Amino acid sequence: MKIAILGTRGVPNYYGGFEQFAEFFSVYLAEKEHEVYCYNSHNHPYQEKTFHGVHILHQHDPEYKYGTFGQFIYDYNCIMDARKRDFDIILQLGYTSNSIWFFLMPKKPINIINMDGLEWKRSKYSWPVQKFLKVAEWLAAKSGDYLVADSLGIQSFLMKTYKKESTYIAYGAHLFDTPNENILQEYQVEKGNYNMVMARFEPENNLDMVLEGVALNKEDQTPILVIGKHETKHGAYLKNKFKDHANIRFIGGIYNLEHLNNLRYFSNLYFHGHSVGGTNPSLLEAMASQAFVIAHNNDFNKGVLKENAYYFSNPNEVKKILNTVKKSDNLQFIKNNYQAIANDFNWEKINGDYLQLFEKCMEQSSKRK
């Protein structure tokens, strides 16, 4: 098959999220002897024409100049190039800035769209932007030949809202089993004697709820590491709100995967507050790192963790968990989640599920003569 991957800044991965998946999946397809093309931003750090058998197509990306609007131009450029190349399948990762160009998509290839999370629910966006994202979602749902949902919650939403079937294929993570306790010294914490929460500083990730629960728990001063880039409006708000709580430590972003894996592995409680979107990569990485996960109570998180976590819906529940729940009493949860990564969320399975979908689409599509 001749396959194109659109919707990312490119491979190899320098950004996380879809870029990580695009790297793993494109190389996997090339190893299976498919002809794979991945669209890269013209200013991507990797400027070669191939990457482990994957053809790289650099396209002009003016995001550096125009901000978000530049993403729409970049996607337009990718789609216009795709019209010349006689692909069998085009896989679009996300829909935010490409679905408005649905009428320009080449007619021959099968158009498969990963529908990502419910971006229009994020309160960081203004009302007009939320409305636009909702329209973009509708256009993608209606124009895609086949849809992929990365969580059962998204799959249910697409059927309920748009009466469109989708294929459930989650995200992946690598199992972590090489702990190094020495790394903790850099962060001035001790094994099992700190909690952590990691997320983008956005209201929907419920950092405020978690930290409010920590602040309420005055009798326990166990440190909690707050990991994520906090030079944002919401970050400034949280740092100011909790500035008098010495045990709440704003660490900033950590991009060294070995450090993150070890911090998760040796932590006491790992809070996951995400409430919008599908299968969250950082949740899978926490499970793969053998962290003891305490998650926000919503269908997306429950769809992944099932009964193998404690859940919270407000600061008082966070406080109660801090006072009553012990990692040592819940080692089976950790083992079950680790096994779930091995069985259901490993990259080999995820890549295989996508390839199986592609083969099924090629067989079924009336576009193939």
Choose among 221, 213, 343: nearest CA to 271.
213
Between vectors from CA 243 to CA 238 and to CA 247, what angle results, nearest 5°? 100
| Torsion angle in degrees (nearest 10) through CA of 148, 152, 158, 160 | 160
pLDDT over 60 at 367, yes or no: no
pLDDT at 123: 64
User: Which residues lie across from 252 on neighbouring strands?
Assistant: 227
pLDDT of amino acid 134? 87
Sign of torsion over alpha carbons 285, 291, 294, 299: positive
**84 CB burial (10 A radius; 0-12, 13-18, 19+):** exposed
For 96-102, what is the mean pLDDT?
88
- pLDDT tens for 164-199 read 999 999 999 999 999 999 999 999 999 999 999 999
Q: Where does CATH 3.40.50.2000 sit in the chain?
A: 2-172+346-364, 181-344
Whether domain 181-344 has CATH 3.40.50.2000: the reply is: yes
pLDDT beyond 70 at 366? no
pLDDT over threshold 90, residue 255: no
Question: Any residues with CB less than 8 A from the CB of 93 and at least 6 apart, and which?
Answer: 5, 6, 7, 8, 18, 21, 22, 114, 116
* Closest by CA position to 53, among listed 23, 82, 77: 23
**78-87, 226-235, 259-268: which range is least confident on average?**
226-235
What's the pLDDT tens digit per position in 35-67? 999 999 999 999 999 999 999 999 999 988 887
* Confidence at residue 319, expressed as pLDDT on a 0 to 100 scale: 97
Q: How confident is the model at residue 122 (pLDDT cuts 50, 70, 90)?
A: low
Handedness of CA 349, 354, 357, 363 (dihedral sign): negative
User: Which tokens belong to 156?
Assistant: 């249910």
AA identity, residue 265: Y
Binned at pLDDT 50, 70 and 90, residue 14 comes out as confident
The pLDDT value given to residue 151: 85
High-pLDDT (> 70) share of the chain, %: 96
The answer to whether the CB of 118 falls within 8 A of the CB of 154 is: yes
- The pLDDT tens digits of the residues spanning 311-361 come to 999 999 999 999 999 999 999 999 999 999 999 999 999 999 999 999 999
pLDDT for position 125: 66
What is residue 124's predicted lDDT score, i.e. its pLDDT?
62
For 280-300, what is the mean pLDDT? Answer: 94
Whether the predicted pLDDT of 369 surpasses 60: no
Identity of the highest mean pLDDT range in 13-22, 82-91, 132-141: 82-91
Superfamily (CATH H level) for 2-172+346-364: Glycogen Phosphorylase B; (3.40.50.2000)
Q: What is the pLDDT of residues 194-215, one digit of tens each?
A: 999 999 898 889 999 999 999 9
* pTM strictly above 0.85: no
Instruction: From 210, 209, 274, 201, select the one nearest 235 (Cα to Cα).
Output: 201
Residue whose token pair is 């962290």: 291
Task: Report pLDDT for 16.
Answer: 67
User: How many other C-beta atoms can be found within 10 angstroms of the C-beta atom of residue 226?
Assistant: 25
- Whether the per-residue pLDDT at 368 is higher than 60: the answer is no
pLDDT higher than 80, residue 126: no
Give the distance from CA 50 to its chain's centroid.
Answer: 25
